[in-house]
Amino acid sequence: MPDLAYLNGQIISIEEARVPIEDRGYQFGDAVYEFIESFDDHIFCLDEHLKRLQTSMELLDFPPVSISGLKDQVLNLFQRSEYPRAGCYLQISRGVEPRAHSYTNTVPPQVVMTIKDLSHVDTVVNTQGIRVRTCEDYRWGMCHAKTVQLLPAALEQHRARKAGLADTVFISREGHVLEGTCTNIFIIKDGTLITHPLDTHILPGITREVIINRICRKEAVAVEERPYHIREFYHADEAFLCSTVLKIQPVIEADGKNRPGPARTPDQKNPGFL
């Protein structure tokens, strides 16, 4: 089965998919998105992803989109793909109209999806650990909306990879650890899981929510959602990044120093959260 695309109600091959040049997502980054995965034909947290998508559209003053109708289309695309392990990229732009900074909200939003086979992607948690760098946050002020305005994230992830590192972690002007380029971040200190609170500076990650509300609450792991300084990050007992795509990635080095958590091999007993 070839990889498929969904374009405003029509399912076609990805190679056939085209959007107009005056789409506001292309012209202004005026679009929101989600990435949804399936494992053994089970779609991970679909309702949570769609709820966040709706919140992002509301934050950006988008015209209404039927979430129940969108859910039906997502389910249909997964079914049509016949991939047990698949990834669906869903993007909604404000629509197509003559280029101008102001918008009318009178044109229909443009809905685009692609679905691809992820059977080749490893789902085993990385126990070797990753190395990261940090930089001062210079993104726009609405990071809690999941938009396609990702240039700072793209630049900083490229700089990390160019330096042989896995990711860049954004730090506020006050020195607080925020999130990675496409991940939330946690530290562990004295048995307590600590992460930045939900506000305009970070994305409300779905995997973040699962870790806090489905795992830690159930297992009685102490959780603190509070700002924490980069010094705490450097001296944490453990640290990890998480996202839908990356799952959980233990951090063993930040800025080339003060390893926040020991590296472990798969045959070593894990002494901590991971």
pLDDT tens digits, one per residue of 256-266: 975 655 544 44
What percent helix, strand, coil does the chain show, rounded to 5? Answer: 25, 30, 45
Closest C-alpha to 139, from 127, 154, 148, 152 = 152
Q: What pLDDT sits at residue 120?
A: 87
Residue 121's pLDDT band, with cuts at 50, 70 and 90, is confident
Cβ atoms of 168 and 156 within 8 Å: the answer is yes
Q: Which residue has the higher pLDDT, 216 or 122?
A: 216
Residue 80 — φ and ψ, nearest 5°? -65, -30
Contacts of 132 (CB under 8 A, 6+ apart): 160, 165, 166, 167, 168, 169, 180, 241, 251, 253, 254, 255
Which pLDDT value is given to residue 265?
43
Tell me, what's the pLDDT at 123? 61
Residue 268: pLDDT band by 50, 70, 90 thresholds?
Answer: very low
Question: Is residue 270 over pLDDT 70?
Answer: no
For the cut 90, the answer to whether the pLDDT of residue 61 exceeds it is yes
On the question of pLDDT at 141 being above 90, the answer is yes
pLDDT higher than threshold 60 for residue 232: yes
Report the pLDDT value the prediction gives residue 2, as an integer from 0 to 100. Answer: 74
Do residues 107 and 32 both lie within one domain? yes
Q: How far is the C-alpha of 187 from the C-alpha of 196, rounded, in Å?
A: 10
- Whole-number percent of the chain with pLDDT over 70: 92
pLDDT-above-90 percentage for the chain? 87
Note whether residue 234 is domain-resident.
yes
Per-residue confidence (pLDDT) for residue 266, from 0 to 100: 42
E strands, 40-99, in order: 42-43, 86-93
d(CA 229, CA 167): 19
Q: Clarify whether residues 83 and 185 are in a common domain.
A: no
Pairwise CA distance, residues 259 & 85, whole Å: 34
Residues in the chain: 274
* pLDDT computed for residue 261 by the predictor: 55
Which domain range does residue 141 map to? Answer: 130-254
Cβ neighbours around 106 below 10 Å, total:
8
d(CA 102, CA 125) in angstroms, rounded, equals 45
pLDDT, tens digit (0-9, with 9 covering 90-100), for 195-217: 999 999 999 999 999 999 999 99
| Residue 268, domain member (yes or no) | no
Nearest one of 221, 225, 224 to 201, comparing CA atoms: 225
Evaluate whether residue 260 is within a structural domain. no
Residue 169 lies in a domain: yes
Average pLDDT over residues 56-62: 98
35 & 101 share domain:
yes
Backbone angles phi, psi at 243, to 5 degrees: -165, 170
Residue 171's contacts (CB-CB under 8 Å, 6 or more residues apart) are: 134, 135, 136, 137, 177, 178, 230
Looking at the structure of the chain, the number of domains it has is 2
Selecting among 71, 116, 146, 162, the annotated active-site residue is: 146
Check whether residue 110 and residue 143 sit in a common domain.
Answer: no
| Catalytic residue status for 218 | no
In the chain the first and final C-alpha atoms are separated, in Å, by 36
pLDDT for residue 1: 67
